Structure 1
């Protein structure tokens, strides 16, 4: 029942952009873990999950929530770790400076770039009247022992400036293997600074998770467009005005995901639905429903079935 792209109408809501972030219960759990670590002054932790579960999207959502939690008084930076190893400390520091927004990231030798980096972060902490900064490393499974030692230098130098660096490593389960290896090698300085705490980030795994996402789409004023319409309202305004809500169909949607992914049947071993599948499903579901918008809108089962199959991702 899928319509072609030529049938797409203009929907005035940023939800249709793939980069748009939607809060979920797993993201709330990860945020709460981070806040607990920071309350207890933990220097770092690991947040891991298989690919396509939604870690990078979660970072986009967690950063502003974390900033808001601390009333924008704690600087939060993100650093994207590339798959290839950093050949030199100079290249590492250049990438670091670029990712945190320094306008002068390419000039100078490694020692000059390190001074520039330390001064930039320390000054930001001072301007925010903060005694800590947060560094979120995405794809942290690509960090090497040498890279950790470079990060340790930065951590120690900031500590001497009375600035605590809290490092959050987002990555794949290989991070747990690296942590175990560093413990075996007695590299406790790495584990203690960057891997002291562990949180398993998850995808959608039950109907409560689906309902939570759908409820935000239906009701959240925070996710309304410039005209004040919620996600659901912007896509099916006639149905919405008549009382239609996406969350009332959560059970049907979850049943189809559970059946197609084999969740809990012991056959294919699926444990969860990644956000890399679930959010494209939601975007296209609402896009398709926008063509059917009436005050007596029905959710076609064949549409749900087709979209679950079309967005299927084998992530675990």
Structure 2
């Protein structure tokens, strides 16, 4: 298929809708298998902002049923922050995030029953009688929120339905767990925080190579699906046919990140958030590829400019200032 047959602006790189099976995703999937297969009630997934934790978790969970040969209903909700949290707000937010069509002002118990019935209905379609709930931005959850989640868990348990709650958030999740330990809140920790997964960004040249390889490989990033047009080939057809690959540029890109950090006095340990790394690649493909300047391949300066456009270095500077308490 000729790449020009794809309407401009519809490629996954251009719309930003694609998922890559990176090393961190596969490592996360291994831990999720243990949670599901051992019927464990919960896990916290934490790391610095913009690492791609939620996206990685969605990819892992969407592909998990294939690995365990059984469908598992997955629900995703955002942990909203309120000055005065309430049961009614919490349950109504869950139903909204579950796209429940008839959310009316009801008593908290009635809202909770709606949630339980919805989860039960979906779980009964799976022979595992399991349901997974992802609480995103979970560092916003208070002790009350965990008690309300426990109520849902207990109601489902009485119906012989197992629920696993995956709390995804920033490193404050560990601080919250330490607080609960000090307050002897063993029922919360035992249900939701016993198991943990530290999510990492891109930290090494090998990580660079592994992610870039995904863009090069039609087995991973073909578009249209089941074609031999990888993302790299689509945007740099001529360069691709001459043997150019993003993976071969890994050392160059790695050095450009390091040079930029050094230039701005960023001395923290290298851990590039996945979001900034993918934005870098997307910038290079869109600006210099077939729908942009139509270059044969990407130069060192092009890569540097692509990194700068993401706002990565500004983010690192602000993170360093926050870490120093300035």
SS in 1 for 2:268: coil
Distance in 1 between residues matched to 2:9 and 2:86, nearest whole Å: 47
**Which position in structure 2 is the counterpart of 1:61?**
59
Task: Please report how far the alpha carbon of residue 222 of structure 1 lies from its aligned counterpart in structure 2 after TM superposition.
Answer: 4.2
Residues 1-316 of structure 1: pairs in structure 2 closer than 5 A? 10=8, 12-71=10-69, 73-84=71-82, 87-226=85-224, 228=227, 229-262=229-262, 268-290=267-289, 291=292, 293=294, 297-311=296-310, 312=312, 313-314=315-316, 315=319
Distance in 1 between residues matched to 2:169 and 2:179, nearest whole Å: 16
Deviations 1:20-75 (A, max 9, x none): 33332112212222222333332111110111122232233223122433445211
SS in 1 for 2:124: helix
Deviations 1:233-283 (A, max 9, x none): 1111222223221111111111211332359xx962133001121111010
Distance in 1 between residues matched to 2:83 and 2:224, nearest whole Å: 43
**Structure 1 unaligned regions, length at least 5:** 1-8
Q: Is the 8 A contact 2:29 2:61 kept in 1?
A: no
Distance in 2 between residues matched to 1:77 and 1:110, nearest whole Å: 20
**Structure 2 unaligned regions, length at least 5:** 1-6, 321-326
Task: Please report how far the alpha carbon of residue 216 of structure 1 lies from its aligned counterpart in structure 2 after TM superposition.
Answer: 1.0
Alignment length (residue pairs): 305
Task: Please report how far the alpha carbon of residue 310 of structure 1 lies from its aligned counterpart in structure 2 after TM superposition.
Answer: 2.6
Task: Please report how far the alpha carbon of residue 293 of structure 1 lies from its aligned counterpart in structure 2 after TM superposition.
Answer: 4.5
Q: Is the 8 A contact 1:50 1:172 kept in 2?
A: yes
Q: Is the 8 A contact 1:74 1:132 kept in 2?
A: yes
Could you tell me the TM-score, scaled by structure 2's length? Answer: 0.86
Task: Please report how far the alpha carbon of residue 19 of structure 1 lies from its aligned counterpart in structure 2 after TM superposition.
Answer: 4.2
Deviates more, 1:79-88 or 1:247-256: 79-88
With a CA cutoff of 8 Å and minimum separation of 6, indicate the structure with the bigger relative contact order: 1
Task: Please report how far the alpha carbon of residue 84 of structure 1 lies from its aligned counterpart in structure 2 after TM superposition.
Answer: 2.5
Distance in 1 between residues matched to 2:232 and 2:145, nearest whole Å: 45
Q: Is the 8 A contact 1:67 1:75 kept in 2?
A: no
Distance in 2 between residues matched to 1:141 and 1:172, nearest whole Å: 6
Task: Please report how far the alpha carbon of residue 186 of structure 1 lies from its aligned counterpart in structure 2 after TM superposition.
Answer: 0.6
Task: Please report how far the alpha carbon of residue 303 of structure 1 lies from its aligned counterpart in structure 2 after TM superposition.
Answer: 1.1
Distance in 2 between residues matched to 1:267 and 1:33, nearest whole Å: 33
* CA 21–147 in structure 1, closer or farther in 2 if over 3 Å, else same: same
SS in 2 for 1:169: strand
Distance in 2 between residues matched to 1:166 and 1:120, nearest whole Å: 15
Distance in 1 between residues matched to 2:22 and 2:119, nearest whole Å: 31
Task: Please report how far the alpha carbon of residue 85 of structure 1 lies from its aligned counterpart in structure 2 after TM superposition.
Answer: 5.1
What's the Cα RMSD here?
A: 2.3
Task: Please report how far the alpha carbon of residue 11 of structure 1 lies from its aligned counterpart in structure 2 after TM superposition.
Answer: 5.4
Deviant stretches of 4+, over 4 Å: 291-294
Deviates more, 1:156-165 or 1:12-21: 12-21
* CA 255–176 in structure 1, closer or farther in 2 if over 3 Å, else same: same
